[in-house]
Amino acid sequence: MKRPQPSHRVATRKEWQEGQTRLLEREYEIRRMSEELGRERRNQPWVLLDKEYTFDTEAGEKTLADLFEGRLQLLVYHMMFGPEWTAGCPACSSVVDPLDGAMPHLNEHDVTMVVCSHAPLEKLTAYKKRMGWKLNYVSSFRSTFNYDFGVSYTKGQQNDLDADLIEQLKADKAMAEMADACGTDLLGYISEAPGLSAFVMEDGAIYQSAAYREPYGARFMLTYQELLERTAKGYDESVMLRRHDEY
């Protein structure tokens, strides 16, 4: 019988195992660097929040302190969903999809996590139902929270963007498709940004301990990309990212 001709180099089991061992050594090296970075991150100073923020939630108006739900720490995932949009960002939605399962584990470590967007609560609640999420999805529509934490931009801030950058974005087909999927145009799409903010509460005072912003700061939350990177073909960026109910 004719043997198949694979599209990739094939080795003996011994050669393959030697290669796996070399890769594992690199993985250990990256892990050590990551742990060192984690220690450095935790040693960073905090900044006191001297302004009170309120949010619209399904349980009524809540302050930032209320969102802690009695726990020591709070994580806020900033999901892109502008006030005029018809739907949330597909990429951000792919980040939020697995979070429901993570909540009990976070809570056990005295951490509460919420998802926050700039759109009015009615839009968020409808989108949450569509996506099948159970987590706490809150709206910052009636506060300056998004602007103060650098995840929403005013018209004036957008006008300050470099003209060449705007032209590059306009030529980006994937960016245009993302904007269209959200029911907005390019400028509307880049008026919002994703990210993760970490807060801690001590003696009633709230401090910000960390902020992770794109383009690379919050990539660690894309768990499906990490899984795909472990496959033979890796993560294919040419595959259009969609919401989980659109494939």
Q: Domains of the chain: which residue ranges?
A: 47-228
pLDDT of the residue at 11: 95
Average pLDDT on 167-173 reads 80
Average pLDDT on 134-143 reads 98
Residues 104, 65 contacting (CB under 8 angstroms): no
Instruction: Assess whether pLDDT exceeds 80 at residue 164.
Output: no
Considering the chain, what percentage of its residues have pLDDT values greater than 70? 98
pLDDT of the residue at 221: 93
Residues 179, 91 contacting (CB under 8 angstroms): no
Q: 47-228: which CATH architecture?
A: 3-Layer(aba) Sandwich (3.40)
Q: Record the tokens describing residue 240, joined without a space.
A: 């259009």
Instruction: Assess whether pLDDT exceeds 90 at residue 163.
Output: no
70, exposed or middle or buried, with CB in 10 Å at 0-12, 13-18, 19+? exposed
| Strand spans (E) along the chain | 47-48, 54-57, 60-63, 73-78, 111-117, 137-139, 195-202, 205-213
Residues 169, 190 contacting (CB under 8 angstroms): yes
pTM of the predicted protein model: 0.92
- Residue 19's contacts (CB-CB under 8 Å, 6 or more residues apart) are 11
192, exposed or middle or buried, with CB in 10 Å at 0-12, 13-18, 19+? buried
Average pLDDT on 182-206 reads 96
Q: Record the tokens describing residue 236, joined without a space.
A: 């294919």
Which has the higher per-residue pLDDT, 165 or 234? 234
Single out the residue of 245, 61, 47, 246 nearest to residue 140, CA to CA.
61
pLDDT of the residue at 138: 99
Q: How far is CA 166 from CA 158, 183, 230, in A?
A: 10, 19, 34
Residues 125 and 136: their CA atoms lie apart, in Å, by 10
pLDDT of the residue at 92: 96
pLDDT of the residue at 215: 65
Residues 81, 89 contacting (CB under 8 angstroms): yes
186, exposed or middle or buried, with CB in 10 Å at 0-12, 13-18, 19+? middle
Rg from Cα positions in the chain: 21
Residues 211 and 123: their CA atoms lie apart, in Å, by 26
Instruction: Assess whether pLDDT exceeds 70 at residue 38.
Output: yes
